[in-house]
Amino acid sequence: MRRDVFQAIADPTRREIISLLASQQLNLNAVADKFDISRPAVSKHIRILAECGLITIKQQGRERFCQANFKKLKQVEDWAAQYRKFWNNKLDALENFLDEEKTTKLK
């Protein structure tokens, strides 16, 4: 089974869980309470997110807390950013070309 950050965010419930954990650490029950789906279903999403490295689960006393792992999320943003960077580089080249064309004509 493929387990990476791209798969983690492919599911809407998992995206919601990440958003929820973005602002706060929550224990497993608190996460499950926010959703209408069954507790085992929420647990499964949390397990996938943990396997993908997007959240970490820490045992604190009798409770298990979930925390988002932002370094992993950055990977997804980086992938999108590569295309942004690519087109920005091309625009730099176009800008230079147009400037040079103008200068050559003035000479």
CB closer to other proteins, 6 vs 37: 6
Per DSSP, 53 falls in state T
Per DSSP, 107 falls in state -
DSSP 17-71: HHHHHHH--EEHHHHHHT-SS-HHHHHHHHHHHHHTTSEEEEEETTEEEEEE-HH
Give the one residue of 102, 103, 104, 107 binding other proteins; rule: CB under 8 A: 102
CB closer to other proteins, 11 vs 63: 11
Euclidean distance between CA atoms 98 and 106, whole angstroms? 13
Per DSSP, 1 falls in state -
CB closer to other proteins, 59 vs 103: 103
Binding mask 32-71 for other proteins (x = CB under 8 A): --------------------------------------x-
Euclidean distance between CA atoms 78 and 99, whole angstroms? 31
CB closer to other proteins, 20 vs 30: 20
Q: Could you list the residues that contact other proteins (CB under 8 A)?
A: 2, 4, 6-7, 9-12, 15, 19, 22, 70, 73-74, 76-77, 79-80, 82-88, 90-91, 93-99, 101-102
